[in-house]
Amino acid sequence: MLTEYLVVSALLIAIGATGVMIRRNFMIVLMSLEIMINGAGLFLITMSYYLGNVSGQVMFIFVAAVAASETAVGLAIAVMMYKRKKSVDVNDFSILRK
Amino acid sequence: MKVILLFVILTPLIGFLINGIFGRWTKPIAGVIAATALGISFILGLFPIFSVLHGHIVEYTYFTWMPFKEVVIPFGLRVDYVSAVMLFVVTFVSWMIHIYSNGYMAGDKGYARYFAYLNMFVTAMLILVLGNNYLLMFVGWEGVGLASYLLIGFWYEKSTASDAGEKAFVVNRIGDAGFIIGILYLVYYFGSVTYSNVFPRAEHVLGYGSTAATIIGIALFVGAVGKSAQFPLYIWLTDAMEGPTPVSSLIHAATMVTAGVYMVARSNAIYSLSPIAQEIVATIGAFTAFYAATMALTHKDIKRILAYSTLSQLGYMFIGVGIGAYWTGLFHLMTHAFFKGLLFLAAGAVMHSMRGLLSIDLMGGLKKYMPQTAAVMVIASLAISGIPPFAGFFSKDAILASALEMGHPIIWIVGEITAFMTAFYMFRMVFNVFYGEEKVEGLYHDLHTHEAPAVMTIPMWVLAILSIIGGWVGIKVGGHIPFEWFVIHSAPTTEVAHEAHYSEALLMGISVTMGVGGILAAWLIYIKKIITAEKIANMFKPIYKLLANTYYVDEFVYCCIVKPFWWVSTNFLWKFVDVVLIDKGMVDGAGWIAGRVGKGLRLLQTGFVNNYAYWISLGIILLSSWYLFVKII
Amino acid sequence: MEGIMFYIISAITVGGALGVLLSKNPYRAAMWMIFSFFGIAGLFVMLHAQFNAMLQIIVYAGAIAVMIMLVMMIMDRRTIETLKRFNSQFYWPALIGLALFADLAFLAYKFKIDTSNAGKNLAINGSNTQMIGEVLFKHYLLPFEVTAIILLVALIGAVVLTKKDIS
């Protein structure tokens, strides 16, 4: 069963990464990030179960906390971007180049 | 009891948080909050003290603070025979000074900030005293250092005050380095820093007279030298007088500077193993006692006189713990906290009514205007001069008598001479300030000099009573000295091979003679004016100048340490290393290389977030492929 | 039985994730995301991580999803709904994603560990929560404190970023 769980985890990470890469809507980019993080979390929990060590589950708590802060900051950025340009299209925001 | 002991520390912390966070709103009652917190802390602290009096050492571990593989450092509190004394002194004297500060600091614009710092200081001091391991002591040690820095520089608009704060902080760092080295050695040898784990095993692990014990002892003592302002790291203490006077009283006389003495007494198991370390402690203590007393002879600033006097008395304490009679050091620590705290408070009351004037040349005859302050000042001065039955007599006599009995006659002689000087300079100050005629016509009238308010005089009287009766626990009852009997459970006196015996009455007689002689000399010079002070100063002009300029130590430090440091910093570190090597060579060079590379890489910078995500993903693929093909297949 | 359950729940999880990836409407995408989160919570239960399953539902499906929805509420609906689905060039990134999956899946396939302890040491007296508490507060106290600071920093950062007076 281990392999199956890991494949699910890999699928989540890959789908999330693809979402970040190809979607235009910043909100969906954020959601994709959440999915990626969950893929990593699933990996932690799986290893925790198969190694018989609860530390992985504790790590997941930290991952959850970090994900929550990441979302908070990401959403704050989204709100600010929206205020400035009335848009959530990531392609409208390329000032990092300058 | 477990919760009570924790709350001894937590109540000042809560006071600190209230005044620190809500200072803007609690300003009118900040002092009441802080003093109440300390009062509660003192009363709660009595429970563990009574438990110790009944013979039960109180020790609790609250949680594991730092679990390392072999070394587990707990957060635990311990009240034994040594820390019970300190707990009582710290909470009680702090309480009194908090009450006093209500009057002294009234109207200051940093009122709430002041009490927040003061409470923070007490919290840190209690952690230092009550912690059951060296690392926790170190936390408190640094905490009191921080509080001291903040309070010395409390009036930070004055550049002298903020400079003095920095000086204290920097000089203390040197000592702290020694303390850390000591702790690391302890971890190395014992695999633990908990007192109950280290001390019983000390003799077994280190061995009597071993180098390891000496190194640990000296390293820890370097920390004590910094914190307790012994020679040569004493230079910060006199500048520390820039802070508010109650702070000088609480931190730089009664509690924080005695932390070093407490630490040495605490580590008695280690010092008893190393005669060399003990000798160093006692010698530096004796030297500082003498050296600081000579400097106090010539100063004209009340607070500086008291500061040098503190140095000198701390020297006595180190003699006590250095010769191995730990109880005498702690005894003097306790009585000193009472009378020196009181002296500073009285000096503060004088300053308060003189609008901050400090020079003894401007005062005289103040007794008429401030009778209560004059009375407590005389009591405290008698106590510090070692006149029976005041507190200082018993503790100082105990130290000097044990020094002689344990075979240190030179230290005894130095101590007796210092006792004479102590009495002289204290009464020089008292006579100049409170007796005689007004030196400046109409000054008191212009300043509206008046007695301090009750909120200031009551704490002073409480400490005055303790300055009288506080030493009576050192009176022999049925062949035992109660204080010695109490402390010796936790800090047994080091045993010496040839204990000399002298007539106690004779030793006491000599001590009293020295004290009375000093007072008499001051009386003859400053009241009777048999010979004026100026004449003496002129007779010994070189010595006088040397003393008045505090042996030119500050100038020496400036010339030989600060200046070369600046020179090296400017000419080598700045002009060569920084400008040539780093700026021209590394920074510009790196910039040049980065510029070249960047020109190429700039094409990758599209500014589109998605594109960055591609590169990250490609990186992951590369890494995982490398792992797959190199490690697995 | 367990195998069947696993496949059903995995299908929910992966389906939800694909829904996020493919749906044009962000509100629908958020719904798909919650769907996927519940699936993951189910997987956690199957892996004897009951506490984390509840955490997953409360924090992700609850807090984070609600937060994202709320932010979308304050935005103009048409601006965010009428956005084109993908970037102009999405073939290559999609390929990269596929390659990533292939890589990771192959790694998973090759991954071998000692599973003799599987399912042990995860609970005290049948309570997974108690076990996590023991380990978290005994061995991971410092990281726990640091996490608290991170949350605080994120909080302050979010407040600063969304302050009104930024023009």
Q: Nearest-5° angle of CA B371, CA B375, CA B377?
A: 115
**pLDDT for residue A34:** 92
- The fold for domain C1-97 equals Four Helix Bundle (Hemerythrin (Met), subunit A) (1.20.120)
| pLDDT higher than threshold 70 for residue B633 | no
The reported pLDDT for the residue numbered B498 is: 66
Taking an 8 Å Cβ-Cβ cutoff, which residues of chain C contact chain B? 87, 92-93, 96-97, 99-100, 103-104, 106-107, 110, 138-139, 141
Token match 């000579």: residue? B294
**Chain B contact set for C106 (CB, 8 A):** 628
In chain C, which residues have their Cβ closer than 8 Å to the Cβ of B64? 138, 141
Q: Does B618 touch chain C (CB under 8 A)?
A: yes
CA distance B557 to C10: 74
Per-residue confidence of chain A (98 residues) as pLDDT tens digits? Answer: 888 999 999 999 999 999 988 888 888 999 999 999 999 999 999 999 999 889 999 999 999 999 999 999 999 988 888 888 888 888 887 766 65
**Cβ contact, residue pair A94, B605, below 8 Å:** no
Q: DSSP secondary structure string, B22-70?
A: SHHHHGGGHHHHHHHHHHHHHHHHHHHHHHHHTT--EEEEEEEEEE-SS
Query: Chain C closest CA to B610's CA: distance in Å?
Result: 9
What would the pLDDT profile of B552-593 be if each residue is shown by its tens digit? 777 777 777 778 877 887 877 777 777 777 777 777 888 888
More confident residue, C162 or B384: B384
Reduce the DSSP state of residue C71 to 3 states and report it. Answer: helix
> Is the confidence at residue B361, as pLDDT, over 90?
no
pLDDT at B612 over 90: no
What is the pLDDT, as a whole number, of residue A98?
56
* Min Cα separation A82/chain B (Å): 16
Domain that holds residue A90: 2-97
- pLDDT tens for B131-168 read 999 999 999 999 999 999 999 988 888 888 888 888 88
Q: How many domains does chain A have?
A: 1
Question: Cα(B248)–Cα(B271) distance, rounded to whole angstroms?
Answer: 30
> C92 contacts in B (CB within 8 Å)?
614
Residues B145, B125: Cα–Cα separation, whole Å: 10
**How would you write chain A as a 3-class SS string?**
CHHHHHHHHHHHHHHHHHHHHHECEHHHHHHHHHHHHHHHHHHHHHHHHHHCCCHHHHHHHHHHHHHHHHHHHHHHHHHHHHHHHCCCEHHHCCHHHC
What single string gives the DSSP state of each residue in C125-167?
A: TTBHHHHHHHHHHHHSHHHHHHHHHHHHHHHHHHHHHT-TT--
User: Which chain B residues are closer than 8 Å to A94 by Cβ?
Assistant: 606-608
Tens digit of each residue's pLDDT (9 = 90 or more) over C9-42? 999 999 999 999 998 888 899 999 999 999 999 9
> What does pLDDT average to over chain B?
86
The tokens of B120 are what? Answer: 């923070």
Cβ–Cβ contact B610 with C under 8 A:
yes
Residue B213: pLDDT above 80?
yes
Residue with tokens 């699933």: A42
Cβ(B129)–Cβ(B90) below 8 Å: yes
Contact B5, B78 (CB under 8 A): no
Q: Report pLDDT for B106.
A: 82
Chain A: touching chains (3 or more CB pairs < 8 Å): B, C
CB A49 within 8 A of CB C47: yes
Residues of chain A contacting residue C140, judged by C-beta atoms under 8 Å apart: 55, 58, 62
Label residue C153 by pLDDT band (50, 70, 90).
very high
Is residue C167 predicted with pLDDT exceeding 60? no
Task: Kindly provide the ipTM of the predicted complex, given to two decimals.
Answer: 0.90
Q: What average pLDDT does range B199-203 have in this prediction?
A: 87
Nearest neighbour of B64 by CB, restricted to C97, C99, C138: C138
Question: Does B497 have pLDDT greater than 70?
Answer: no
| pLDDT higher than threshold 80 for residue B331 | yes
Mean of the pLDDT values across residues B331-348? 91
Is the pLDDT at B606 greater than 80? The verdict is no
Per-residue H/E/C for B294-329:
HHHHHCCEHHHHHHHHHHHHHHHHHHHHHCCCHHHH
The H or E element that residue B74 is part of is strand B72-79
Q: What is the pLDDT of residue C165?
A: 61
Q: What is the distance between the alpha carbons of residues A80 and B512, in angstroms, rounded to a whole number?
A: 80
Helix, strand or coil for residue B567?
A: helix
Strand partners of residue B540: none
Nearest to B617 among A17, A29, A98 (CB): A17
Chain A, chain B: beta-carbon pairs less than 8 Å apart = 29
Give C164's pLDDT tier (boundaries 50, 70, 90): low
Nearest to A54 among C3, C105, C131 (CB): C131
pLDDT over threshold 80, residue B501: no
Nearest to B614 among C93, C139, C141 (CB): C93
Lookup result for tokens 């392999």:
A3
Q: What is the average per-residue pLDDT within B87-116?
A: 89
How distant is the Cα of A86 from the closest Cα of chain C, in angstroms? 8
Among chain C residues, the shortest Cα distance to B68 is held by C139
Contact B608 A95 (CB under 8 A): no
Domain ranges of chain C: 1-97, 125-167
Chain CA centroid to CA C93, Å: 22
* CATH at residue A27: 1.10.287.3510
Decide if B351 contacts B357 (C-beta within 8 A): yes
Q: Taking 90 as the threshold, does the pLDDT of residue B123 lie above it?
A: yes
Q: What pLDDT score was predicted for residue B506?
A: 85
**SS3 per-residue string spanning B336-394:** HHHHHHHHHHHHHHHHHHCCCCCECCCCCCHHHCCHHHHHHHHHHHHHHHCCCCCHHHH
Separation between Cα atoms, residue C118 and residue B347, nearest integer Å: 74
Task: Pick the residue from chain A with its C-alpha nearest to C26.
Answer: A28
Touching partners of B (3+ C-beta pairs < 8 Å): A, C
The confidence band for C107, taking pLDDT boundaries of 50, 70 and 90, is confident
pLDDT of residue A46: 93
Separation between Cα atoms, residue B286 and residue B271, nearest integer Å = 17
**Closest partner CB to B614 (pick from A21, A95, A96):** A21
List beta partners, residue B535: none
Contact assessment for residue B346 and residue B513, using Cβ atoms and an 8 Å cutoff: no
CB contact under 8 A, A20 and B613: yes
Beta-carbon contacts of B42 under 8 Å, excluding residues fewer than 6 positions away, are: B91, B92, B94, B95
Nearest Cα residue to B311 out of B182, B421, B192, B413:
B421
> Given this model, what pLDDT does residue A12 score?
94
Chain B contact present for A15, CB below 8 A: no
Neighbours of B84 (CB within 10 A): 24
Residue C163 has pLDDT above 90, yes or no: no
pLDDT digits (tens, 9 = 90+) for B23-71: 888 888 888 889 999 999 999 999 999 998 888 888 899 888 888 878 8
What residues have CB less than 8 Å from C1, skipping those under 6 apart? none
Q: What's the pLDDT at A77?
A: 87
Taking CA atoms, what residue in A is nearest to C146?
A62
Work out the mean pLDDT of chain C and round it to a whole number: 87
Q: Is the pLDDT of residue B280 over 60?
A: yes
